[in-house]
Structure 1
Amino acid sequence: NEQNGHMLQIFVRRRFLDDIAYASAPYGDVDSTRHPISKWLGGDAATHYGQARVVANPTTFLSDKCVRMYSAHSDPEFHANRGQFQLELIKLLRPLLGEGKTRERVATTLYGGVLPAWWKDDAS
């Protein structure tokens, strides 16, 4: 198929924005004229230019109360089969990710020793 485009949308709750994103110059240096990024995006300044970087902090990205991500593909067949692809990928990665207790121990460490109330092991 000749349709080969991917799109990833990342939605971040405003109160977490400055924790995981920053306005950047080319090659990733902080653009101090637009820092913090929440002030720049929330103000009256033009937002049609510039770059930003998102740092995929696991403690933020694991919670749908902080970040939501959506993806799409220009090929309808690829997009329709994405769920099956994810299941197959999980099956391949499961031996590398360890057992449920291992994942829980890692998550507990990420969250400073206490699992959040919403935590559940998706593999169970």
Structure 2
Amino acid sequence: MTIPLWSNANKIKQAKSALLASESKQIDEKQQFLSSLEIQYTRVVGLKKAADKYRLSLGNANNSLLLKKALDAGQISLLNYILEVTVYYDTVIKALEAERDFQKSYAELTAVEL
């Protein structure tokens, strides 16, 4: 013969334990989410700095007009001209990639606000 009072006591303990576990899980998930946001923010800041650095170096490195004049005047060979222009356009590509990565990361970070 079982007494109903004792069987309910275990159910209450079990419910309290389940509630405590659920609250702990919620706190842990919130902390993980905030940590991932912080990591994303740090990444966005780094990518922004890289994109700005490339943009600045592109402004200083665009000497295509001078190279064209030097080529036309015969001061440099066609090979040197092509090599110099290739270096410039490689930098342009890297700058565009850095800007793309920054914009993509920024969009992921701000998607949380939506």
Q: TM-score range by the shorter chain?
A: under 0.3
Q: Which structure has the highest strand share of the two?
A: 1
Q: Which structure has the highest helix share of the two?
A: 2
- Normalised to the residue count of structure 1, the TM-score between the two structures is 0.21
CA radius of gyration, larger in: 2
- Normalised to the residue count of structure 2, the TM-score between the two structures is 0.22
Q: Which has the higher contact order (CA 8 A, sep 6+)?
A: 2
